[in-house]
Structure 1
Amino acid sequence: MATVNIRRDVADPFYRYKMERLQSKIEGKGNGIKTVVANLPSVAQSLARPPSYVIKFFGFELGAQTNTNPKDDRWIINGAHQADKLQESLDTFINKFVLCKDCKNPETEFVVKDGRILLDCKACGQRTAVDLRHKLSGFILKNEPKGGKKAKKEKMSRRDRAKLEAQENGSVNGTDRSPHESNSDKDVEEEDDGEIAAGSDDEFTKQIQEDAKTIDATNGATKEEKWAVDTSAEAVAARAKELPTDLKRSLAFDEEDDGGEENGFSVYDQLGTWIDTQAKEKGGIGKVDDVDIYKKTAELGIESKHKTLTVLAQIIFDENIVAQIPKRAGMLKKMIGDSEKHQKAFLGGIERFVGSGNKDLISKVPTILMTLYQEDVITEEVTKPWGTKASKKYVDIATSRKVRQAAEPFLKWLEEAESDEEESDDE
């Protein structure tokens, strides 16, 4: 299912708040014509609002009758309404009844108090008021979610709701189920037959050194002078000004080592934006050279940071990731080294890459992991523990669970390969 940013005015592909694009179907004819919104519950859940509020808003905006409590989960609007028109109405709903009026973040929940509807923002902590003049406000006041487990879940923040659902499914903080316990028994299929040539980090290092010598010969500068990063306030501000505002990144990282910000741009934002700009100028991400990428990380002083691997995992690949991994392996191995922390950060970036904007690639997770493993980018010691437990560190818990469940064929292969080695040693 295609996803879009909850705030569609934000073009950033790494914007963390996503929802499914509305799917509608026009049925009937004449006076009985109607529009069924097939995925309304899923969209409403992404907005942390009851589906009845969304369908009622459509009714008010379009001047049509709606059903706000369907027993068959068919959410209907009388009349014929195209999906793009409904999507525009949904944008209005989000702006009026979801986004915090202060920080424009969708991480809000309703608080009804003294006849007012407040948006309690979990991101900035502010409470802002909803316009009571809109007809939907009256509907909300009359149909405030009542008690009960389902209603309680609807009113939770996304983070708390995801945690509750994970606990109910026994996949997180529990022991009765793990991603390895699905119904999938198939071995890994078409894993490139193990014949992919490993990338050479030595060759990559040689490229960097030769490139640096060329720079030295041309500019008469020593390596130390060329690779040093000017960290003065003026230099950082100048670099930030060169970056187009509409390309600012909001990548997902852990909370440690934020890299600092200058004029609203962290060094990781700058790296992501620079690579994106290079890809557009050169006609595709595959044409951005690894040496240039590494030099940029060195310029920013983050070539040894684990979070850099999280950024790179999200932006140096596209839908052809399986074929691109061997070409990037030399750079990745050099930057990861022997660090488990760097491997985990890279796997987190891969999880976000396939889970947040490229969900068609989730089915290819086993092949992606196999290729990374064959290229010595990731190791068995890090990957096996990674696959045993879903995490909300880089994506929402439901998406994390899907990625790890998709990884099961590869993880099973690792276990069987280890068993075969042990049997061979015994013999």
Structure 2
Amino acid sequence: MANLNIGGQSDDAFYRYKMPKLVSKIEGKGNGIKTVIPNMADIARALSRPTAYPTKYFGCELGAQVKIDEKTDRYIVNGAHDAAKLQSLLNGFIQKFVLCPSCGNPETDIIVDKAGLIQMYCNACGRRNKGENVHKLATYIVKNPPVNNAYGKKGKADKADKKSKKNGASTPTEEEEEEDRDDDFTKKIKEEAAAIPDADNFKSALGDDWSVDTSAEGAAARMRELEGSVKTQMTLDDDEDDEDGENPYELFGIYLEETPKATDAEIIAKTEELGITGKSRAVTVLIQCIFTDDMSREIKARTPLLRKFVTTEKDQKALLGGMERVLITSKTLMLKAPHVLKAFYDNDIVEEEVILKWGEKPSKKYVSRDEAKDVRARVEPFLRWLAEAESDSEEDSDEE
């Protein structure tokens, strides 16, 4: 099989970074036609990336569903796509998610930092650059980061252990070190124990007032002290209850309605101010307040903000609940319900599995059960299409 230079920029026959040329195989007919990439695992291995990354990238660029089955080594992109077209897209993936922005070398590792941003660490030049965080694939990478060993340097203990093994000795284990520490500690205890007075001298060592006063006066004094402590605790509790008690989610909703032109940064800052950052309920409020009757088109423009809020499956469910509440308020929106749900799916805000599970059973958590049934009936065409597409992919895998 022919090999290509990684990146497609160098014609040097002796260029050291090579990858297999992409091979595609078109299967099926009509609506079930699909493209299989038999050597995707070899390509991903050459690029030092998980197989899901380039496969998902194809799906994002082509607007097509993909099927990834690492156990059977089968990678599918729905639709008919020739090898040349996919190879061109693969070069785009390499430019964005493989090559070092500083030196152009493909010896890089993807790292997702604490802020949820992709960083590129280059093992050739040693630089750490900001990666591609705008592309749709970035959302998937952040949720499914690769396992990197770029910073897995051995410490002094490892080096000492290696050196001792070379000399025929072994480094003391943690248990052995603990036993040594216990010996020292035991010695210290024995020394301190020797200074403790025996039973005969115990009372004199503590003084004359070491015992509890059991008289009526002593009991009354202890009761007064206890009552004072309880009153103090009740006062503290009352002070906590004296807070205004305003619901932060209601305040967030009011803010969104009163400031419709607020920027994404301002909205995020408001959640931090109200202490509801990362809360699923904040997602529901957000969905109810930032969209109009043109919701299906507005979702794409709001995608960067939504991705900041929707980071877990629970958040996705909260988003769907907010969507239900919005849809039932407008006949115009209800007619566009399938397009609204598809927009959330197309922009990688809500995953396929979450949507299908949501569609299985109406819930009265966000709206009445009848309203929930009505919403699901409206989006039934999209749910059916999504389920059939997944079923076709599973059947294709079983046939193999």
Q: Which has the higher contact order (CA 8 A, sep 6+)?
A: 1
- TM-score, with length taken from structure 2: 0.36
